[in-house]
Structure 1
């Protein structure tokens, strides 16, 4: 199964949809999610958008849920 979109819901109820074609290191996010779901220790992950200035970070302490859509 090829993952193309991921929905991240933060604890403040902000929702971000991350699409494969908009993020340079999308595979790093998929790996991070697998480790997060397996209760492994994950660190801060910064995702780089393909547009200048569109990077953002995710921290396990701020995540309410992560879904593959």
Structure 2
């Protein structure tokens, strides 16, 4: 019975939602070319998978203080 409880705890931890900062979401395979405020479309991009990472939600770009709404005054 004890091993069943331990197994359940391990599964709960493994499948728990990953906490990400505001305007970001967790992904198992993120892009190596996340859009940035100062570089919305990177010129050179590899197809690398960045494993288990928080990245900006759609409509947001990486800025100096996290993910900012694309086109906002803070995202320059």
Shorter-chain TM-score above 0.5: no
TM-score by length of 2: 0.23
Which structure ranks higher in relative contact order (CA pairs < 8 Å, sequence separation ≥ 6)?
1
Tell which structure's C-alpha radius of gyration is larger: 2
TM-score by length of 1: 0.25
Q: Determine which structure has the larger helix proportion and give its number.
A: 1
